[in-house]
Amino acid sequence: MNKAVNILIIIILLTSCKSRTEQVKRVALAKVGDFVLYYDEIPRLLQPGSSPSDSTAMVQNYINKWAKKELLYIKAEQNLTPEYKDELEKQLKETRTNLVIYQYQRQMMLEKMDTTITDEEIESYYATNEKNFLLNSNIIKALFIKVPVETPGLDKIRLWARSNEQKDLQQLESYCYQFAEKFDDFNEDWVTMDKLSIELPQDIVNQEDFLKRYTWFETRDSSSVYLISIKDFRLRYSLAPFEYVKNDIKSIILNSRRFEFLQSLENGIYNEALKENTFKLY
Amino acid occupying residue 180:
A
Q: What are 240-277's pLDDT values in tens digits? A: 999 999 999 999 999 999 999 999 999 999 999 999 88
Q: Using 50, 70 and 90 to split pLDDT, how confident is the model at 19?
A: very low
Interatomic CA distance for residues 218 and 65, integer angstroms = 61
- Predicted TM-score of the model (pTM): 0.72
With vertex at residue 133, the alpha carbon angle to CA 129 and CA 135, rounded to the nearest 5 degrees, is 160
Q: How many CB atoms lie within 10 A of CB 161?
A: 22
Q: What are 147-191's pLDDT values in tens digits? A: 999 999 999 999 999 998 999 999 999 999 999 999 999 888 999
Q: What are 29-82's pLDDT values in tens digits? A: 899 988 998 888 877 655 565 666 767 788 888 899 999 999 999 999 999 999
Q: Between 82-112 and 242-275, two packed helices, what is the crossing angle to 10 degrees?
A: 110
Within the chain, where are the H helices? 2-15, 52-79, 82-112, 119-128, 154-161, 166-179, 193-197, 207-213, 242-275
